[in-house]
Structure 1
């Protein structure tokens, strides 16, 4: 089972049958809004004005929302139902929640929390020191980053201490670009993106294409081996 000292990053909030997550406040607490089609059903729920961090020029917005404590009361009174989801949060250097992908624990439902921006991805060991600080491991999703960390731990690979980041998809390199900007000590990029093949049910080699793109984009300044082999073999 995955466990490390930063695991609170991905146990942040539940989602509910009648409510959406509007965003997170400065303390990382989730706030909610009523889904539009259920607005009439919850007209009696009082709203509170709160500052949430989003992607506008000031990095924040003030909106009327419902606190988590109110939602919990509605669950107790059976006015709504909780979904079993996990939310994996990416923070700025100032510890402000900036990106939050939501994934169900059973099924294929995937969505990003409203207001999320993919400049800061879910990260493990972002404050690595010593030799480990010179290398970052890059993955498509938080689950893949956590899986690789767990494999490194099982195999007692020194890579367990390396920073590991999730791109939140492979269409852009925003997360990697921001991480390298914030961590100038990094000299090596280990790419652990998916190997998409027909045998795996894929018709497009998205992971391989992204690997080639990142190698071209950052190849002049960084070393960039792939992480497809066992981390014990790649010490």
Structure 2
């Protein structure tokens, strides 16, 4: 039974609240947590709100962006300094949900949030606070392992990509407000007509978003054209653990993943 909703005004009070309850959870935007609470009554006794912890805001220095964990997706998407990533934000849910959903919360979405896929492709880091102080870790590590029960992710930081180096596609059943069949995010560079570096991350292809290392290896040293991308994308099965859910079957995902990798990287 949910007995308490606590709204601490500093991190120490938040840690104390987490430690003192039998079963607690952090509450940020609530778009992921509240539906779970409503369908699993009795799992939690305490919610610890992040609302007063001053963890929102966007700072850009040079090409480096730092985004507070409670910054809404809407605020992220409207910041002109982050316009290259606006297609990522616009693919997530609907405007009313983006008005309250937060950057930090998306890291912990079941099967991985679409923003988390993009942040992994950008080698984003996160700052995580606990009673023992602050630590930095990769967003990829958080997506893979989560964080401790009495830890709080306070921000994420990444280098803003050049527009011609950033590629993102989300395949959905509907044109908006739909979960992903597959999400593709890639940050790559091309030198002398050949791919020289690439981070390619896939969502919707495994229990958590994954780096498509085999596909990346096949892309290195090749032209970024439909022929070579199609050949590289055919290796995706080495990197994935396909599953069936209400959105799509594993069979269907297997057939559309290489198509959408090609579309993401070449537009063809």
Structure 2 length normalisation: TM-score? 0.28
In terms of fraction of residues, the more helix-rich structure is 2
Q: TM-score, normalised by structure 1?
A: 0.31
